[in-house]
Amino acid sequence: SQTIHQWPATLVQPVGSPLSLECTVEGTSNPNLYWYRQAAGRGLQLLFYSVGIGQISSEVPQNLSASRPQDRQFILSSKKLLLSDSGFYLCAWTPGSGYTFGSGTRLTVV
């Protein structure tokens, strides 16, 4: 079966520290992969998407970057976190049953 894994579930990081969030998909090949961010009580903002290994499109200028080192692996990174990077980060993939989301990572920058 097709599943999406995202970790960690929660993360508290100091300002200026690096970040690495990982998302992996199982049971499929060559998926489109997406990173979204959701501020508290707000809608979902698309950050990055990838249609293949090494192919990254950025939707919003950010203090963040993304990489896709393997077909089913999508990584969200930052060299130096800002307070404004706090939020709920969601990975998603397609094709699948609609777009399928991971369970999310709640990042708090302190």
Q: Measured from the CB of residue 58, what is the shortest distance to another protein in angstroms?
A: 11
Residues 61-100 that bind another protein (CB under 8 A): 88, 90, 92, 94-95, 97-100
Task: Determine how many CB atoms are found less than 10 A away from the CB of residue 44.
Answer: 14
Amino acid symbol at 56? I
| Cα–Cα distance measured from residue 31 to residue 52, given in angstroms and rounded to the nearest whole number | 7
Nearer to another protein among residue 13 and residue 44 (C-beta): 44
Q: Measured from the CB of residue 53, what is the shortest distance to another protein in angstroms?
A: 16
Q: Does residue 3 touch another protein according to CB under 8 A?
A: no
Q: Does residue 58 touch another protein according to CB under 8 A?
A: no
Amino acid symbol at 91? C
Q: Does residue 110 touch another protein according to CB under 8 A?
A: no
Residues 37-56 that bind another protein (CB under 8 A): 41-46, 49, 51
Q: Measured from the CB of residue 6, what is the shortest distance to another protein in angstroms?
A: 8
Nearer to another protein among residue 4 and residue 75 (C-beta): 4
| Cα–Cα distance measured from residue 82 to residue 110, given in angstroms and rounded to the nearest whole number | 9
